[in-house]
Chain A
Amino acid sequence: MGQTRPFSAQRLDRPHANRTGRGKTLVVFVTLAALIFLVFMISLDTGVIRLSPSDVVKTLFGVGTSRSYLILFEFRLPRIVISVLVGTGLALSGCILQSVTRNPLADPGILGVNAGAGLIVLVSAALFPSLMGSLAMPCLAFAGAALTALLIYVLAYKRHEGVVPTRLVLVGISIAAAIDAAILVLELMLDPDNFQFVVTWMAGSIVGTDWNYVLSLLPWLLVIVPFVCCKVRVMNVLNLGDAVAAGLGASVERERIWLLGAAVALAGSCVAVGGGISFVGLIGPHLARRLVGARHERLIPAAALTGALLLISADTLARCIIQSTELPTGLVVAVIGAPYFLYLLARHES
């Protein structure tokens, strides 16, 4: 990018900025977890039909009415679990991307994940309206995302050089621009009903609302998150720049492929289930970095927690702000996330 030094390296060579104490990190983790739990409980209570906290607790322990059981276990819980998983996945994906491309603005959207998935959703909405809302949709969206990411990677790859981060980002942006243009052309041809569905999907409303979606998303996270955790040291090293990383003995190109693959798989599966939610991947890692510093062994879990908290709060708000017309969660993420992000930006020194 345009900066002289990678943004986190700037942090690394200012000792006081990086020596966030162990105690403070622990406090941050515990606070985030507690907040997630709190919002989780509130989220279970709220919705078109309100349940009192005691009802919720009773139902969770198996002594509630069949009606509250139905509401909680068939409607609310799966959606809440999905929003937590999607938030975690997207924030992690953004975190990996920001480290690997050393671009503080990178988010899964840069790899064309949202655009590719959006195009497929749009085309299938136009051709096979019956598919909408079925489990096939996420599979298609995932295929679109993965294909686009692969295309971007292949186009950014050059023999002897591999994938230089700047080129990856530039190619990503231009491919996304091309797909967005195609989306725009197609959108203008759609009939109003399908159009509304697609627009809502792309604005990021949680699509999956039953346990099947949870089951289809969970394996991805269960495989990739541990993998990412194993790679924290590699990411610390990659952050120092290609030359330094190679000098320290990392096989830069291979590690980059693996990490990018992990980021795409995370983002693709999450977008497939959660719709085109874009802001979490950008802002989650930034917030986490402000809280615990740039070392990945702390940053990665913090980003996961921040992303989960952001999305579960946004989803809860989306359901209760205007109850008749549900707002897409992605919009609420931006509306609550952006001001806080700006506040952080204003408060901190560079």
Chain B
Amino acid sequence: MHAYSDAVVRSQGKRRHRAFAATWVIAGGLAALTLSVALSISVGADHVPLPAVWNAVFHFNAKQTSDQVIHTIRLPRAAAALLVGAAFAVAGSLMQGMTRNPLADPGLLGINSGSEFVLAVCMASDPHMPFFGLLMLSFCGAGLGAALVYGMGSLSKGGLTPVRLTLSGAAVSALLVALSQGIALYFGLSQDLSYWLAGGLSNTTWLQVHLMFPWVAAGLIAALLLSKPLTVLSLGEDVAGSLGQRPGLIQAAAAATVLVLAGSAVSVAGPIGFVGLVIPHLARFAVGVDYRLVIPCSAVLGGLLLVLSDLGARMIHPPYETPIGAVIALVGVPFFLYLTRRSRRGL
């Protein structure tokens, strides 16, 4: 909080500088993103040179195998990575803004543990559940987890405070994870569940991308609309209240947006941790604490991180896929450590 308000004061003088930095981050990020998406499409078991990628995307020829590969396997995968990364990162920004907790990430809202629990129940009751069903149930589970966390947090006398939301998130998550681990151990499903927990984007289809796109797009737009009140809210509820805001309303809207974004991302890619935690820090580091700048930067950087990590997941140990969470940790952790050391107040 200290660091935040201090940074706000400092950033007043650097307003123009921040906007400039944001333009750079977004423009540079988008360029890097285009390049990495192109790379992600071209690299793999069947290497396709970049000009051919261009042709396949813009002059699709159904007779060519490489065009087919690109169209049915690599393009949806890259698109999904982009969407998932942006969704997790923006959800993380919203969480950190609304709880004023620099360590909050979407997992704390019970989204990961909720879908893990529902998946464990489903795997135990019907091992041959079709994939599409799992996808939908995972989304419902995310909703269940978030509803539990939010409901439990707001049941209390004093209303929902950021600390209480975080504590209730930790408790509900612990409960749901314990229940699903218990179920998994009892039915001998641990290994299946671990595969899901490892996350990843292999076998992503257009169907998944089409299903996810409207949700993520709506979530991103909602996040942008919320960015201004969120900036005020991140100064503290008292300040926000005295500036004429209704903190409870903003928090509820932000929580719903987090659910939509992170829930759809989790249901497609599994609970990929760390993106939602790290990227918002990175964005704030670059552009300050104005969430109107933080949120678009988070979206771009999150998408970039995930496209690159997915590329890494395929390239590190071919033909096997390294779990994407591990790749993200490999890239993200050292960088994050570097940041925590560099910044004055430990971020």
A150 contacts chain B at the CB level, 8 A cutoff: no
Q: Is B178 an interface residue (CB 8 A)?
A: yes
> Are A335 and B168 in contact, with the CB atoms below 8 A?
no
Q: Is the CB of A3 within 8 A of B100?
A: yes
Contact of B102 among A2, A327, A333, A345 (CB under 8 A): A2
Stretch at the interface among A18-26, A178-186, A259-267: A178-186
Across the interface, do A331 and B178 meet the contact criterion of CB distance under 8 Å? yes
Decide: A164 and B345 in contact? CB cutoff 8 A.
yes
Q: A331 and B181: CB pair below 8 A?
A: yes
Query: Are B103 and A173 neighbours in the complex by a CB distance under 8 Å?
Result: yes
Residue of B161, B190, B336 touching A350 (CB-CB under 8 A): B161
Assembled-state Cα–Cα distance A58/B139 (Å): 56
Q: What residues on B are CB-neighbors of A182 within 8 Å?
A: 326, 329
Cα–Cα distance between A200 and B319 once the two chains are bound (Å): 30
A347 to B156, Cβ gap below 8 A? yes
Cβ B323 vs Cβ A184 within 8 A? yes
B40 interface residue per 8 A CB criterion? no
Q: Which of B103, B278, B345 has the most CB of A within 10 A?
A: B103
State A334–B176 Cα separation when bound (angstroms): 9
B158 interface neighbour in A278, A283, A341, A349, Cβ under 8 Å: A349
Interface SS of chain B: helix
Which single residue of chain B is at the shortest CB-CB distance from A4?
A: B1
Interface presence of A338 (CB below 8 A): yes
Residues of A within 8 A of B175 (CB): 334-335, 338-339, 342
A282 contacts B336, C-beta separation under 8 Å: no
Residues of chain B from 128 to 187 with CB closer than 8 A to chain A in the complex? 152-153, 155-158, 161-164, 166-168, 170-172, 174-175, 177-179, 181-182, 185-186
The complex places the Cα of A169 from the Cα of B100 at a distance, in Å, of: 15
Task: Report whether B347 and A184 are in contact in the complex, using a CB–CB cutoff of 8 Å.
Answer: no
Q: Find the A residue at minimum CB distance from B174.
A: A334
Instruction: Say yes or no: is B333 at the interface (Cβ < 8 Å to chain A).
Output: yes
Q: Evaluate contact between A335 and B178: CB separation under 8 angstroms.
A: yes
Assess the A345–B164 pair: CB atoms within 8 A: yes
Let me know if A105 is at the binding interface, CB within 8 A. yes
Does B54 touch A at the CB level, under 8 Å?
no
Alpha-carbon gap, A178 to B166, bound state (A):
23
CB pair A348 B156 closer than 8 Å: yes
Given contacts A184-B323, A187-B194, A283-B171, contact A350 B163 (CB under 8 A): yes
How many chain A residues touch B (Cβ–Cβ < 8 Å)? 60
Knowing A3-B1, A283-B171, A345-B156, say if A181 contacts B329 (CB, 8 Å): yes
CA distance A282 to B157 in the complex (A): 22
Q: List B298-347 residues whose CB lies under 8 Å from chain A.
A: 322-323, 325-326, 328-330, 332-333, 336-337, 340-341, 345-347
**Which stretch in A60-68, A188-196, A221-229 binds the other chain?**
A188-196
Decide if B170 touches A7 in the complex (CB within 8 Å): no
Interface positions of B from 68 to 114, Cβ below 8 Å from A: 99-104
Contact B1 A174 (CB under 8 A): no
Q: What 8 A-B pairs come out closest when comparing CB atoms?
A: A167-B346, A334-B178, A338-B175, A181-B329, A2-B100, A2-B101, A181-B326, A346-B155
Using a CB–CB distance below 8 Å, which chain A residues touch chain B? 1-4, 7, 104-105, 155-156, 158, 164, 166-167, 169-171, 173-175, 177-178, 180-182, 184-185, 187-188, 192, 195-196, 199-200, 203, 278-279, 282-283, 286, 322, 325, 327-328, 330-335, 337-339, 341-342, 345-350
- Write the residues of chain B forming the contact surface with A, with a CB cutoff of 8 angstroms: 1-4, 99-104, 152-153, 155-158, 161-164, 166-168, 170-172, 174-175, 177-179, 181-182, 185-186, 190-191, 194-195, 197-198, 236, 273-274, 277-278, 322-323, 325-326, 328-330, 332-333, 336-337, 340-341, 345-347
A-B contact pairs, 12 of them (CB 8 A): A1-B1, A4-B1, A105-B170, A155-B337, A177-B329, A180-B329, A181-B325, A345-B171, A346-B155, A346-B156, A347-B156, A347-B157
Given pairs A2-B99, A170-B347, A177-B274, 7 additional interface contacts (CB within 8 A): A1-B1, A171-B337, A174-B278, A184-B323, A335-B182, A342-B171, A346-B157
